[in-house]
Amino acid sequence: MIPYIRVPSIPIAGPIKLHPFGILVATAVILGTSIAMRRARKIGYNVYALNSFITWMLVGGFLGGHVLDSIFYHWDEVVRRPISLLYIWEGLSSFGGFSGALVGILLWKFFDYQQGRGIVRIRKPRSIFAYVDLILSVFPVAWIIGRAGCSTVHDHPGARAAADSILAVGYPSERAEAAMAATKFEIIWGKFPRYDLGLLEMLFSIVLALAFALTWKRKLPIGTYIVATAFTYAPVRFALDFLRIPEREGGDTRHYGFTFAQWECIALLLFGVFALMYVVRLRREGIDLEKEALEPAKTKTPDLDDEVAEGS
């Protein structure tokens, strides 16, 4: 059985503290972006466009992560306190983040932010497939650190487990956990074994990250990482959600028998099938999905419509 590890927040000044979850999530974003940019330069992608792509993706991801987490997992709180939808620091859902990131990416395809003009429409929509594939090639590396944050703060406790399970975490009793002062690093061998879903997903992410990293020096067809991510992450995450605390014991709400994340897993798997068919068809037709992502000659700004979608 794995011990329950408690990591304290780091005091900065007065009530201001650095929380371990926030530190690790920020580290994941910085590291993932850095690796993606490095890979883009080696491949020859337009790094200016990729930087813009990542910005829209992250903004959409964090907004969607909180809003969908609130709606599908904390609806009673939304009804009681609707303004909580604006407090993005109060909770994030991974699949909510994925959905929000997808919305951000689709907006980036058609719009761009220009200083002095605000958000403006692009004449020719940008291709997103190559950039999505690049991001997913490094995503598991960043996800390891993000899920390490979850396992550090134990915000995804799962169902009870057998005491002899090597993947169970020895949680303290709920009363003892609530009474603990988060002022020092502690390793606790609790007597209440549970699955820690953040930890389990982190272990899976390590395997996936190693598998992807071993392919970085190879020239793989665009779309490979999209399909691989959908076909591996979706079924694993679908299975892990059966280990969530049952709804009758105060666990997450089920929608027609499945959690919100499980329904999203089904959608992700179907998207993977669509992506595979799309890639195969384009390759058969000789269409180069990578061409538009390559660095254009001496241009950084996309062609814009005269119409301004949102003023500055």
Strand 118-122 versus strand 111-114 pairing type: antiparallel
Question: What are phi and psi for residue 310, nearest 5 degrees?
Answer: -155, 125
- pLDDT tens-place string over residues 215-257: 999 988 899 999 999 999 999 999 999 999 888 887 878 888 8
pLDDT of residue 55: 94
Residue whose tokens read 């992560």? 65
Residues 285-306, mean pLDDT to the nearest whole number: 62
Per-chain mean pLDDT for the chain? 85
What integer is the mean pLDDT of 105-131?
Answer: 88
**pLDDT reported for residue 299:** 47
pTM of structure? 0.84
Question: If you ran DSSP here, which 8-state letter would residue 117 be given?
Answer: T
The token duo for 40 is 């883009």
pLDDT digit string, tens, across residues 190-200 = 889 999 999 99
Spatial distance between the Cα atoms of 40 and 294, rounded to a whole number of angstroms: 9
Neighbours of 181 (CB within 10 A): 8
Q: Which residue has the higher pLDDT, 310 or 53?
A: 53
What is the band of 295 on the pLDDT scale with cuts at 50, 70, 90? low
| Residues 268, 56, 22, 246, CA torsion sign | negative
Residue 306: pLDDT band (50, 70, 90) is very low
CA distances from 155 to 2, 126, 172, 194, 245 (A): 16, 38, 14, 12, 12
Query: What are 161-207's pLDDT values in tens digits?
Result: 998 889 999 998 765 555 555 567 788 888 899 999 999 999 999 99
Give the Cα separation of 244 and 200 in Å (integer). 12
Q: What is the DSSP string of 88-103?
A: GGG---HHHHHHHHHH
C-alpha 119: how far from its chain's center? 25
**Is residue 272 pLDDT above 70, yes or no?**
yes
Handedness of CA 219, 220, 221, 225 (dihedral sign): negative
Q: Tens digits of per-residue pLDDT, 58-79?
A: 999 989 888 887 887 777 787 8
Q: What is the dihedral of CA 173, 178, 184, 185, to 10 degrees?
A: 40
Q: pLDDT: is 198 or 306 the higher one?
A: 198
Phi–psi pair at 240, nearest 5 degrees: -60, -35
Q: Is the pLDDT of residue 23 over 50?
A: yes
Residue type at position 122: I
Q: Enter the DSSP assignment of 298.
A: T
Q: What value does the mean pLDDT take over residues 277-283?
A: 88
What's the confidence (pLDDT) of residue 209?
97
Tell me which residue of 129, 126, 143, 130 sits closest to 43, measured CA to CA: 130
pLDDT value for 309: 42
Domain chopping of the chain, boundaries: 2-310
Selected residue with higher pLDDT from 290 and 220: 220
CA gap 13, 26 in Å, rounded: 20
Question: What is the model's pLDDT at position 312?
Answer: 33
- pLDDT of residue 53 exceeding 70: yes
